[in-house]
Amino acid sequence: MTYSYKKLFEPYKIGNVEIENRFTVSPMMISRCFDPNGAPNQEGINYHVERARGGFGLIITGAFFPDIEADPFGADVY
């Protein structure tokens, strides 16, 4: 490869997991991607699917509220 940023296209490992390249989507809170209880809605799912299709090696999802049944304080805290 003759381009300047060749290292970005090289795989790397996090523990035992190999990531195919060094392009990463950082965690973000996109409010329209969640329902009122903090669960991801279809728009949020589509957002992350498109990033994956775009070739990002690692996608770190944004903040999700815990399941209300597992954490009764869930979305009410925020």
Query: For residue 35, is pLDDT > 60?
Result: yes
pLDDT digits (tens, 9 = 90+) for 36-62: 777 778 988 898 899 999 999 999 887
Least confident of 9-13, 27-31, 60-64, 71-75: 71-75
Residue 77 lies in a domain: no
Residue 62 lies in a domain: yes
Q: CA-to-CA distance for 10 and 20, rounded, in angstroms?
A: 7
Query: For residue 64, is pLDDT > 90?
Result: no
Residue in the structure block whose two tokens are 């009410």? 76
pLDDT at 55: 92
Q: How many domains does the chain have?
A: 1
Supply angle C-alpha 37, 69, 30, rounded to 5.
25
Q: CA-to-CA distance for 48 and 31, rounded, in angstroms?
A: 14
Residue 5 lies in a domain: no
Residue 76 lies in a domain: no
